[in-house]
Structure 1
């Protein structure tokens, strides 16, 4: 506990110097990190291989842990994209002068010290640190054991660049792999201002239930795509295939296809491309009867109630047949996680109803839920997808990593 407390204290102290950095200095640091990451690609991949060698390739987490040269170059591109974005710090959100002459301004400021607890994906180290640096925040990282060597290598690169630039490296702190450290972080009220968990529902629920620090819930995504009676089947096939198979291990992946009963005859066409990716379908009775003559039997299963509301993070998908849009909305309300939901329709009335009544951070019309991502929204890399309603919702990028404070300037006013 004493060692961990020292890490927390050092991170908080380091935050003071971070507040004094100018945007130009921060951008130079980010460029140096991008260059050093490019130069150390082979080192990162060799450490990542150590993690992969400890895993079963059939484990859905394997793809989340895996880094490739292409993925690292994508991370470098995201870092440079963040450089191009304006700093959110210091923005004046409101300004007014009172009748007594007091000048008030509402100013965006960093949260301070942000603790990130995440599973598997080592790219989170880069995403979190670069966004925190650009928004003036210190980050304390607690990664999972699956990506132990990858996380250590990435943080080592970041801290070496900071050290070379005479910046306190404790603005990026990686906590030990011990699980007990999570509870210490969740209770570090004197040092940490905000906790953001990134991972499955069990992690997020644990953090929410045990933290004594404000938490922003992110990540768990039970995502639906509803093929409405007025949907275009060509568009439907493309969207369902992309939303399900583009990258199954991420939270914006399609988990359940909902289809109107009167469009069941189009279901074999809509699902046709899924069999090429060996997607296992858990179909309700009506959809199963339609698909059994068209979809490979080894990939087609009869759905149970447990298959609805499941975040598969795998080449698996449920299908639910409903009577109308109201049934679809009811199903999503019951089983969704308020992450990303989509409708495929050419009907304007259905579009308006779906947009109005679906309670989710991102609501799509005739588009794949795979776009729920900070970089895709033009926000730079995101620190997570918030599924709650306080402060931030959807992709959390630079602006969402700021709080605000009021600045009151006077000339001797006192209150009677």
Structure 2
């Protein structure tokens, strides 16, 4: 094991023991210091971010990737607002989930405690550096951050600003650490630091998650992969369907809660597809459709099997014709990633069937999948959107970064 990674792990573990006992006032004061520091250093952040953007453009990286990488004044303010919201939340650490007396007189309490040390591995979204660090601090966890090399300058300055701000307020060194060495082999070492890391959270593409899961010996929480669907039922209101579909695909196509596939009831093709295709194309979307849908979309490409399982993260959408809700659900079961799924319908029966039978972290009726987000759900920033069922599911805020332990108070009882 590389000494570099061992030292990072040891520092994080030592810091986590102190963090578990830090009072709420100190954590909140440190987070508010981060808010001020981000706003005061916005020009410096943008300067470092521009270095990453320049390198990305020189490599010919896609526009959707560059969008995820870009930090503007508005996005820096949004990061600061997210930290402010996290500071304003009630502290989950120490919360008594339930308490009850044993018949022998012992008092048993289930109490919320930090997970310990988090290892966060993510790609090309510098805002994750701040979101994850803030959530970890509020929930009493130490965190080791490993961002993508494409955002190295941005992540580096954000970590420095964050760490400088919190250490001035009494938070221990090692609470937030960024792995600056670009060697990819270090990621495998990180997710094998069983003596120091309590859980790994990969946030990025399918390839990243598969690599982490294949190599990790510490527990892993899977997040993010989003092959999301919108099913337009035969009883969908046209204007509602158009607005939701266009928003869910085009409002920010490079994120995991944007839709990748439209499932359209065969009876709705003629009345909806011409208008929908016009709206999508007007927003720069490339359409790949099955044989039945192609008849209504001049100029669209023919979809192939691979399209149904592709997370485009760009202005591309696939369209599949289905005979009804049962086929739509079967398609989602086969190709979906259990992230976010939606139906547009005016039928209460169809809406309830979709809600009850679709297996995903978030299921919508007559609303865009773009709302699957920690901020929109009232959690402030999020460390990721879990697509698994243990230990957390959906947007992961501060409570999802804690576990519980039982505290038993007795007076000499024996069994």
Which of the five TM-score ranges fits, normalised by the shorter chain?
over 0.9
Q: CA deviation at 1:59?
A: 4.8
Contact 2:223/2:384 (<8 A) preserved: yes
Aligned-pair distance for 1:167?
Answer: 2.4
Task: Write the deviation string for residues 214-261 of structure 1: whole angstroms up to 9, x where unpaired.
Answer: 110001000000000000110011001110011111100110000000
Question: Counterpart of 2:177?
Answer: 173
Q: Note the residue ranges of structure 2 that are not aligned, 5 or more in a row.
A: none
* Pairing 1:72-83 to 2, within 5 Å after superposition: 72-83=76-87
Give the match for residue 280 of structure 2. 274
Q: 1:182 aligns with which of 184, 187, 193?
A: 187
CA distance in 1, matches of 2:366, 2:48: 41
Deviation at 1:276, TM superposition (A): 2.0
How many Å apart are 1:135 and its aligned residue? 0.5
What's the counterpart of residue 111 of structure 2? 107
From 54, 70, 94, the equivalent of 1:90 is 94
Structure 2 counterparts to residues 8-47 of structure 1, below 5 A: 8-47=9-48
Contact 1:237/1:271 (<8 A) preserved: no
SS at match of 1:104: strand
**Whole-angstrom CA distance in 2 between matches of 1:196 and 1:145:** 18
- 1:138 paired with 2:142, answer yes
The residue that corresponds to 1:284 in the other structure is 290
Any idea what SS the aligned residue of 1:237 has?
helix
Q: Which residue of 2 aligns with 1:51?
A: 52
Please list every run of 5 or more consecutive structure 1 residues that lacks an aligned counterpart in the other structure. none
Q: What is the DSSP-based 3-state SS (H/G/I as helix, E as strand, rest coil) of the residue aligned with 1:308?
A: helix
After TM superposition, the structure 1 stretch with the greater mean CA deviation from structure 2, 206-215 or 108-117, is: 206-215
> Are 2:177 and 1:159 aligned?
no
Q: Which residue of 2 aligns with 1:313?
A: 313
| Partner residue in 2 for 1:206 | 211
Q: State the TM-score, normalizing by the size of structure 1.
A: 0.97
- Mapped to 2, the partners of 1:103 and 1:173 lie a distance apart of 39
The alpha carbon displacement at 1:180 in A equals 0.9
- Counterparts of 1:81 and 1:59, CA distance in 2: 30
Q: 1:3 aligned to 2:4?
A: yes
Q: What is the Cα deviation at residue 60 of structure 1?
A: 3.1
Aligned match of 2:361: 361
The 8 Å contact of residues 26 and 170 in structure 2, kept in 1 or not, is answered as no
1:269 offset after TM fit, Å?
A: 1.3
Q: CA deviation at 1:380?
A: 1.2
Which stretch has the larger CA shift, 228-237 or 91-100? 91-100
For 1:286 and 1:156, locate their aligned partners in 2 and report how far apart those are by CA, in whole Å.
Answer: 55
Distance 1:222 1:104 in 2: 44
Alpha-carbon separation, structure 2, partners of 1:178 and 1:165: 32
Distance in 2, Cα, partners of 1:159 & 1:30: 10
Secondary structure in structure 2 of the residue aligned to 1:76: helix
Task: Give yes or no for contact 2:124–2:151 (8 Å, CA) kept in 1.
Answer: yes
**Matched residue of 1:282: which SS?**
strand
Paired residues of 2:12 and 2:144 also in contact (CA < 8 A): yes
1:57 Cα offset (Å): 5.1
What's the counterpart of residue 256 of structure 1?
261
CA distance, structure 1, for counterparts of residue 407 and residue 318 of structure 2: 53
**Do the aligned partners of 2:38 and 2:80 also contact (CA within 8 Å) in 1?**
yes
| Aligned equivalent of 1:247 | 252
Q: Would you say how many aligned residue pairs link Structure 1 and Structure 2?
A: 409
- Tell whether 2:198 aligns with 1:193: yes
CA deviations 1:280-307 (Å, max 9, x no partner) are 0001111111111xxxx3xx21111111
Deviation at 1:414, TM superposition (A): 1.4
Deviation at 1:169, TM superposition (A): 2.6
Name the Cα RMSD after superposition: 1.0
Q: Aligned to 2:135, what secondary structure does the other structure show?
A: helix
Q: Give the Cα separation in 1 of the matches to 2:204 and 2:192.
A: 19
| TM, length-normalised to structure 2 | 0.97
Matched, 1:235 2:236: no
**2:222 is the counterpart of 1:217:** yes
CA contact (8 A) 2:20 2:113 kept: no
Who is 1:64 aligned against? Answer: 68
Q: Would you say the 8 A contact 2:124–2:148 is kept in 1?
A: yes
Q: Please name the residue that 1:394 is paired with.
A: 394
Partners of 1:382 and 1:395 within 8 A in 2 = yes
Q: Separation in 1 of the partners of 2:286 and 2:108?
A: 59
Q: Distance in 2 between matches of 1:147 and 1:412?
A: 57
SS at match of 1:226: strand
Give the SS at the match of 1:317: strand
